[in-house]
Structures are given as C-alpha cells and as structure tokens.
Copies of this chain bind each other. A is one copy, B any other.
Amino acid sequence: MADGIGLARAAIEPALPEERVAKFIRTLRQRFSFSDEEQQQLISRMGGEAFFHKGDTLVDEGEWIEYSSLLFSGYACREKIDREGNRQIVEIQIPGDFVDLHSYPMEQLDHAITALTDCRIVKLYHKEIDDLIDKHPRFARLLWFSTIVDTSIHREWILNLGSRAGSQRMGHFLCEMYCRMEVVGLVEDGRYDLPLTQKDLGEALGFTPIHVNRTLKKLRSLGLADFRNQKVTIDDFDALADHCGFDASYLYLTPRKK
C-alpha cells in the first residue's frame, strides 16, 4: 500500500533521497537521537537504487559484498537452508531496515536475503562508510548499534523457538511485526501486511504448515489475532501481548541517551 504509492511515484519522478531513506531515519531516531546535520551526512552518502522482483535473491550466501542495502519499499527475509534443504527464515525485513549493514564488517554473509515481494533498495557503499567513520567516528557506534538490534531480535527468536509453544510462539511473532511495522507507519487500524504463506510462517517458527494453520485458527477463535490473505489484524494488541508474554524492549525502540 505505502509500497504501491512508493513504486508508482518512483516510476513517474524519482523520490528524493530524504524520502527514500525516511523510514530508516524514523526507525533510527526512535532508537538513537542524532542531529539534523548528522542525518544529512548520512543521507548524502547514500548511493544508487536497485529493484528486485518477488522471489529474487538480494544477497546470496557467501557472496562478496561492497555495499549495504537499505530497504526502501517491499519486504524481504533472511533465510538459511540446511543440508536436507529445509528452509529456516531467520528474520523478516521491512521498509526502513538495513538488510545487510553487517556485511560491512563481515564482507560475506552466512545466509541469503530473499525478496518476499517486489523490493526497492537504496545502496550505501562500504567505502562511503569507511570515509564516514573516518571523518565522523561517532557514526561507527551508531551504525554498529543498528546491526546489534538484529542480534537482539535473533536472541528473542531463540527464546521464542526454544521456550514458547503453539499460539504463544505465533502470537509473539505477530506482536514483533506489529511493533516494527508501527514505527514506520505501516499499521492502520490494527492491521498490517505480512506477505507470507502459511508455509513461510512455519519456516520462520519451526512449525509444519498444518500446525501453523491450527495455531492461527486458535488465535482467531480466541479473538487475539487474525491472519488471512497476507494481512494481520490485531484488534487488542495488549491482550495478544499478554497472552504470549511479549515485551518489546528487545526491539530497542526507545531512544538511547547518546
């Protein structure tokens, strides 16, 4: 929806850089206060755009990377495939997320990033980051921070997969997505897009698609959440959060002091 608008406008006249990175800035500022000048410093280094179709691989496992991708519109996911070919979705990326900023220190990823919908990205070349940190060392800590939030999210997923079962595991995931989507203005009347099939959901939560179906049915019958046609509706967020013990602090959405 916001997605569609972005695409349409880009086709007519290119969006301004500020606009393209707006969601990222919004998320970042939610977490880490920084000046308008610093914001400008960062935006001015953002390079070209790229477009991917649904199902495309944005970054492949093992690939050598020289720029990081800021997701401007569309949805993607990190995924790992094991020897038997089982797919594990490890994180969902939404507009405003830096999908692979950690490739700056890493240079090579241990997993792939795949487009869940058509995606538009803005590039930030690693040599620009080098230069930025060189001239403004404070950005090291700031950009570093933004990658470390993913680490925190991963830890919560470990907790979710390791200690929560059934509807609570599912509910927790839906709560996380709700909070992250809300920050970038993608929740409307308790509804947000989640472009996953039930099979995908299973691959994120460690369930079979059948069990995903059972679990969704249960959440629906409890009146806590409804997922259908790639859309999530949560009428009473607090009730759902309470049901599954969700606490958003691991998302670091409260501004830091520095």
- Cα distance, A147 to B111, chains bound together (Å): 17
Q: Does A40 touch B at the CB level, under 8 Å? A: no
Are A148 and B106 closer than 8 Å at their CB atoms?
A: yes
| Number of copies of this kind of chain in the complex | 2
Number of interface residues of A (CB under 8 A): 52
- Cα distance, A252 to B82, chains bound together (Å): 17
Are B110 and A155 closer than 8 Å at their CB atoms?
A: yes
Are B155 and A90 closer than 8 Å at their CB atoms?
A: yes
Are B245 and A83 closer than 8 Å at their CB atoms?
A: yes
Q: Does A154 touch B at the CB level, under 8 Å? A: yes
Are A159 and B82 closer than 8 Å at their CB atoms?
A: yes
CB-defined contacts of A144 to chain B, threshold 8 Å: 104-105, 140, 144, 147
Query: Which 8 A-B residue pairs are closest in the complex by CB-CB distance?
Result: A162-B206, A154-B154, A140-B140, A105-B145, A83-B245, A161-B161, A105-B144, A151-B151
List chain A positions with a Cβ less than 8 A from chain B.
78, 80, 82-84, 86, 88, 90, 102, 104-108, 110-111, 130, 133-134, 137, 140-142, 144-145, 147-148, 150-152, 154-159, 161-164, 203-206, 245, 247, 249-250, 252, 256-258
